Amino acid sequence: EESTSRTTKKKLVAVVGGGLVGSLNACFFAKRGFDVEVFEIREDIRKAKVVRGRSINLALSHRGRQALKHVGIEEKIVSQGIPMQARMIHSLNGKQYPIPYGRKGQVSLSVNNIATFSYYAICRLTEYSTMRLSYCCVFRPDGSKVQIKADLIVGCDGAFSATRKQFLRRSRFNYSQTYIPHGYMELTMPPVNGEFAMKPNYLHIWPRNTFMMIALPNLDRTFTCTLFMPFEDFEKITTGDEVIKFFQKYFPDTIPLIGVDALKRDYFRLPAQAMVSVKCSPYHIDDKCVLMGDAAHAVVPFYGQGMNAGFEDCIVFDEMMEQFNEDFSAVLPEYSRVRVPDDHAIADLAMYNYIEMRAHVNSKWFLFRKHVDNLLHFLMPKTIIPLYTMVTFTRTRYHEAVQRWHWQNKVRSFLKIYASL
């Protein structure tokens, strides 16, 4: 029977979206003793046979790991991830050059997407007795809605968020989205005699200016290769032979590793996927609703930070819940005030990196820039910290990392002028 002894009724938090950020966020709220209900449009991940995620594997770095650590699942995820201690640059002549990310411990982890993470997060959730999972769509495709009576709604329903769509109807809500002309396609590189086809503890990169391919290792000793190319170039390749010809020209060393038949087949399995950059503000409505993850800020993947930024959203929000004693009317506006500039900064950084890579990033550029960065950092470790080090291996606020990077560029150009005198 209803326990009358309790003075305050437990508050209910409804999380829309049970993807990477939604399921992690639910852990944060459940840990605080809230009743949490997660609404996920797709079937229960724990029963799903086929993993359907936007990218098969992702680079998990410091920001994301700090969030996982907060709810006690960092070790579980790290044990399922493969550390990448350096980049392996594949030049056109087939030569490979490793470029370390930094000091020994500074690694990114290649983790399997939805399957590994959400599974552990949801299992963690069910350990908190206050957890309920409803596999249904909050806003049904026919527009009808599930009635939720909750004290707080957290929109974690991804780049095409239905929760955010409700924000669009309000005045003073800012929104922008940009589709880039590049698409991406994922291809699998199988093991060779049961072993990884390439060195596993690296982020493999084939930088070819307009075209680029990267490969991250998976636990099952495959690599997931992600080919980035303008849609118009994807469309020019219409037959298996044209695929092989294209790979012979730009990625010759990968043909024997992916396999001619697999290339011809897998290239036409799915069309190239689009990449969108979404910015909006504010992230909240009064003390009622808040957006996090891709629902708040979808970024192009050219910094490997989308999930890490979404996970960091959860820590930042939780820190404010602590600071304002869980008073939503104080936490939500403060969350928008602090987090919008940082998430916009990483969106800009990722877009800048895309434009930089498309323009003049080939093996020589990569080698030159990364060795210069590492050299300057070695000479003036406190003054020159490579931008990707601040972004990937620290929790420096994204907008501060960008400010510092601008300042360092001034120092760098001054040094160049000084050196040339």
Ligand X SMILES: Cc1cc2nc3c(=O)[nH]c(=O)nc-3n(C[C@H](O)[C@H](O)[C@H](O)COP(=O)(O)OP(=O)(O)OC[C@H]3O[C@@H](n4cnc5c(N)ncnc54)[C@H](O)[C@@H]3O)c2cc1C
Shortest CB 114 distance to ligand X, Å:
7
Alpha-carbon radius of gyration of the chain: 22
How far apart, in whole angstroms, are the C-alpha atoms of residue 61 and residue 99? 17
Strands 152-155 and 12-16: parallel
Shortest CB 6 distance to ligand X, Å:
30
Cross-strand bridge partners of residue 195: 192
Contact partner, 353, from ligand X, ligand EGU, none, Cβ < 5-8 Å per class: ligand EGU
Contact partner, 282, from ligand EGU, ligand X, none, Cβ < 5-8 Å per class: none
For the segment 191-230, give every residue that binds ligand EGU (CB under 6 A). Answer: 203, 205, 214, 216, 226
Q: Are the C-beta atoms of residues 328 and 153 closer than 8 Å to each other? A: no
How far apart, in whole angstroms, are the C-alpha atoms of residue 51 and residue 22? 17
Contact with ligand EGU (CB under 6 A): which of 29, 267, 283, 388?
388
How far apart, in whole angstroms, are the C-alpha atoms of residue 118 and residue 54? 14
Among the residue ranges 46-54, 57-65, 130-138, 324-332, the one whose residues contact ligand EGU (CB under 6 A) = 57-65
Shortest CB 243 distance to ligand X, Å:
20
Q: Are the C-beta atoms of residues 404 and 386 closer than 8 Å to each other? A: no
How far apart, in whole angstroms, are the C-alpha atoms of residue 3 and residue 331? 29
Contact partner, 42, from ligand EGU, ligand X, none, Cβ < 5-8 Å per class: ligand X
Contact with ligand EGU (CB under 6 A): which of 16, 59, 197, 289?
59
Shortest CB 292 distance to ligand X, Å:
7
Q: Which is nearer to ligand X, 60 or 376 (CB)?
A: 60
Which residues lie below 8 Å from residue 245, measured CB to CB, with a gap of 6+? none
Q: Which is nearer to ligand X, 39 or 251 (CB)?
A: 39
Which residues lie below 8 Å from residue 297, measured CB to CB, with a gap of 6+? 278, 279, 280, 309, 310, 343, 344, 346, 347
Cross-strand bridge partners of residue 185: 227
Interface positions with ligand X (CB under 6 A): 16-22, 39-42, 54-55, 58-59, 137-139, 156-158, 162, 184, 226, 293-295, 301, 304-308, 310
Contact with ligand EGU (CB under 6 A): which of 17, 183, 200, 304?
304
Q: CB 362: neighbour CB atoms within 10 A?
A: 16
Q: Which residues bind ligand EGU (CB under 6 A)?
A: 55, 57-59, 87, 101, 108, 203, 205, 214, 216, 226, 301-304, 353, 357, 388, 392
